[in-house]
Amino acid sequence: MLFDNYLFARPFSLVYDNEEGNEEGNEEGNEGNEEGGNNEPKAKSYTQKQLNQMMADNRRKLTQQNEKLVGELNGLKDQANLTATERDELETRIETLQEQNMTKEEIAKKNAAKTTKAHDKALGDVSNERDAWKNRYTSERITTELYRVASEPAVVPEQVVQLLSPNSYLADKLDGAGKPTGEFETLIKFADVDEDGKAVQLSLSPEATVKRMQELPERFGNLFVNPGTGGIGGTSGAGNSQGGKMTANDLKDTGKYMVWRKKNPKADPTAYKG
């Protein structure tokens, strides 16, 4: 494997003070034992404090060696030419080395945090995917309905769709008793005025919105082929001036010409002079 030269840890053995002296002493002791008829070497005894200190020293040396090796492995992990498999292998080795210096409680806590993080990520991915599909469905449905209601009366349906889309949303469809039916309907927030001329905001269906827009030619008359007549003091919209007749000057206006062309697809615009 790529990283076989990197060992997890090197084994340590206890090193006792004055080993050479012990050997000489043991040889002398052995000679004395032989003379005395006893061949068993004399065992060296340690206090619990000495044993604890030796184990702590060994643990410290192992920790230092592992930290050095982890640093080397992290350096390898940063290389751009590693494959995904090699990177995963490095992550596993690094994690194993780090756990050698941890207690069981610390390892359990680390694993719990890792599991929680993985769960949160998976949940976030699912939520993001759900929201993406929801937004896509909502946008497609609203756009389709707006095109459907605007395609016939509007001069350029795209203009009406672009105007109404930002204020459109899906809402629960209610039955006659005001209870949700489990279906959705498109509604549009429409800024209007009431009978007293005060500003109000209505939630209208696409059909009702387009109809109301046609009734307000002073605001939307240029968007429709046959805009209706507004309320008191209302004026007719583009294309209806002079009783529906167009002059040569009117035809020079792009918006008016498109309205006229849609109403008179077979007429010859070159016949108008003036």
Q: Which pLDDT score is estimated for 48?
A: 85
Report helix angle 157-164 to 206-214, nearest 10: 110
pLDDT tens, residue by residue, 128-140: 999 999 999 999 9
153 and 226 Cβ atoms separated by less than 8 Å: yes
Given this model, what pLDDT does residue 84 score?
75
Identify the residue with better confidence: 138 or 67. 138
User: Do residues 274 and 252 make contact, with C-beta atoms less than 8 angstroms apart?
Assistant: no
Cα–Cα distance between 202 and 26 in angstroms, integer?
104
Grade residue 272 by pLDDT with cuts at 50, 70 and 90.
low
Give residue-wise pLDDT tens across range 184-239: 999 999 999 888 889 999 999 999 999 999 999 989 989 998 765 444 333 444 43
Give the confidence band of 171 by pLDDT, cuts at 50, 70, 90: very high
Of the candidates 156, 164, 151, 163, the residue with the CA atom closest to the CA atom of residue 206: 164
pLDDT of residue 251: 58
Q: Mean of the per-residue pLDDT values for the chain?
A: 76
Nearest to 170 by CA among 158, 155, 157, 180: 180
Name, of 26-35, 95-104, 152-161, 250-259, the range with top average pLDDT. 152-161
Q: CA distances (Å), 185 to each of 168, 172, 177, 222, in order?
A: 10, 6, 16, 28
CA–CA dist 126, 120 (Å, integer): 10
Q: What is the CA radius of gyration of the chain?
A: 44
Percent of the chain past pLDDT 70, that is, above it, reads: 65
* Helix residue spans in the chain (DSSP H): 19-36, 48-77, 84-99, 104-150, 157-164, 206-214, 217-220, 248-251, 254-263
